Amino acid sequence: MKTIDDLQVAGQRVFVRADLNVPLDGETITDDGRIRAAVPTITKLLDRGAKVIVASHLGRPKGAPDPQYSLAPVARRLGELLGRQVAFVTDTVDDGARATVAALGDGEVALLENLRFNAGETSKDDAERSAFADRLAALADLYVGDGFGAVHRKHASVYDLPARLPHAAGDLIAAELTVLKKLTEDVKRPYAVVLGGAKVSDKLGVIDHLLEKADRILIGGGMAYTFLKAQGHEVGGSLLQEDQVPAVQDYLRRAKERGVEFVLPVDVTAAAEFPDLKTKAPANPRTVAADAIPADLQGLDIGPETRKLYASKLADAATVFWNGPMGVFEHPDYAEGTRAVAQALLDSAAFTVVGGGDSAAAVRILGFDENAFGHISTGGGASLEYLEGKTLPGLAALED
């Protein structure tokens, strides 16, 4: 796979597929981590005299313009971080895009509007997707794939466009791959994995694969209650995927056979109602045993004894991969489990990888120094699919 160091970019129109899919509260960016992660590659290309066309998706619009998903706030923040003007294009491949790109000078940058405002970006119809890729290709001379958070999607700008232009991987994707190889090839042990998040169904593939790789798997978040149910415990009103209980029971059995340690919560922080995440009003939490959650309560975080247990299980690890919060970290009453895991990673001498998505957001929201971790991924879903051993379309498209 070529990198941008292999490209002659001076005077060339370089299409950079970034991942600028940041959370917005109206027009306010609440976490700019993905924008900051895109800056080094863009800066390197600009400093080498390229005319840079940045493109990304944001959210899940329905294939047509939708103001709530506009990249206009991202363009402003990107300009601040780059320290130079970013020409924002209010369309993707029409007159505005063509005129703005034609006017770019060497070392200048433009950002196209949300790619998903065009149905061709995400279409499952090859012809429709290819037609959109053709129009994107007409804007550029070279292609740089740097949106790691989107490489598991077979989308026009990720999969089809690289075939139409000389292409290379950006520095962000190159860095992500270097890290992920440390989690799959010649792994330093003990290798501990922390998995959280809402649904166990989202993690089935990676759990299946990690049974062959990991020494220890710690489970938290909403998915923990399906594991507790699989052990025969009542979970009250906690999030539960009843249909996944047989699969989880099989994983627990296989883990025991292979000597992989599964670590589940011993206590949980619970409440009668889900907290108000907008007002952050006090939620009256209670700590209860994980095997005796009352019928009128729902688990919303791992409890204090579980936090200590998980910290002890991470203390001697040589490699740690963490994907998914331990609870409803957006509310202060249910953030302590996620905070404890993040702190345990910092206290460990292990090579630590925070696997993107909500885990990466939690690290920033809870005030941790990102640079203190071994690596914070920009792509939660992409990281998981890579660890499952899947072929990721956006990476395959960058191979020569």
Q: How far apart are CA 289 and CA 118, in angstroms?
A: 50
Catalytic residue chosen out of the listed positions 76, 77, 199, 308: 199
Catalytic residue chosen out of the listed positions 357, 379, 380, 394: 357
Maximum CA pair distance of the chain? 67
Task: Work out the angle between the directed axes of helices 171-182 and 33-47 (0-180°, nearest 10).
Answer: 120
Q: Is 135 a catalytic residue?
A: no
CB 332 within 8 A of CB 298: no
Q: HSE on the CB side for 160, CA within 13 Å? A: 22
Q: Is 199 a catalytic residue?
A: yes
Catalytic residue chosen out of the listed positions 170, 220, 380, 381: 381
Q: How far apart are CA 25 and CA 3, in angstroms?
A: 35
Nearest to 156 by CA among 126, 184, 177: 126
Q: Is 374 a catalytic residue?
A: no
Residue 309, φ and ψ in degrees, nearest 5: -60, -45
Q: How many CB atoms lie within 10 A of CB 57?
A: 26
Cis, peptide link before residue 332, omega less than 30° from 0 = no
For the chain, the first-to-last Cα distance in angstroms comes to 6
According to DSSP, the β-strands at 142-145 and 191-195 are: unpaired
Q: Is 33 a catalytic residue?
A: no
Catalytic residue chosen out of the listed positions 34, 48, 116, 213: 34
**Which residues make Cβ contacts (< 8 Å) with residue 32, sequence separation at least 6?**
22, 77, 81
Burial of 198 (C-beta count, 10 Å sphere; 0-12/13-18/19+): middle
- Block residue for tokens 């005077």: 11
**Which residues make Cβ contacts (< 8 Å) with residue 93, sequence separation at least 6?**
118, 132, 135, 136, 138, 139
User: Looking at the annotation, which residues are catalytic?
Assistant: 34, 199, 357, 381
